[in-house]
Amino acid sequence: MLNGTKTWATNGGIANVHIIVASVDPSLGSRGQASFIVPPGTRGLSQGQKFRKHGVRASHTAEVVLAGVRVPGSCLVGGKDRLDARLARVREGGRGGEQAALKTFEASRPGVAAMAVGVGRAAVEYAAEYSRDRRQFGHPIGQNQGVAFMLADMQSAVDAARLLTWRAAWMACAARIID
């Protein structure tokens, strides 16, 4: 039985199918997790709070509430035999294998960062244009030292974020080549 709330789920509560990563053996921490496919219309599955995000609003993001959700054994990703073998191996101190959810996050984070850099860059461009157009005391406000410093700080932050994004993308690409 699945109980709990998953937060910040893309298409949470409205997707046709939900993939839920849940703890099946809390004593093993993240190595005691399994993935379940929760089909549409499953009793006890609902959408919780929908999040209003700054920037990337194209994707629906909400909580997924699981209240006594029962799924058949066929919905356990990989099957029960493989899960039991993996949990036994971990309990004996062996490796549990790769965690698919974490690998997905690692692969998608540079793309999310790139979108955020784009939003930041657009904000800097908008602010710079506004500072050229908005006049106060007979001159554009961008000529005021305080405003110019803020614009420079904003541009520096966007440049640093862009470089970190490139580095993260390079590292993700290098990890895929090595794997």
CATH of the domain at 45: 2.40.110.10
Give this prediction's pTM: 0.65
Neighbours of 109 (CB within 10 A): 14
Are 53 and 106 within one domain? no
Are 54 and 126 within one domain? no
**pLDDT < 50 positions in the chain:** none
Q: Domain boundary residue among 76, 97, 118?
A: 97
Are 115 and 131 within one domain? yes
Positive or negative, the CA dihedral 58, 54, 30, 47 is: negative
Provide the number of structural domains found in the chain. 2
What does 63-95 look like in DSSP terms, one character per residue? EEEEEEE---GGGBTT-HHHHHHHHHHHHTT--
Are 6 and 91 within one domain? yes
Reported as a single tens digit per residue, the pLDDT across 82-127 is 999 999 999 998 877 766 667 777 778 898 899 999 999 999 999 9
Q: Which domain holds residue 52?
A: 2-97
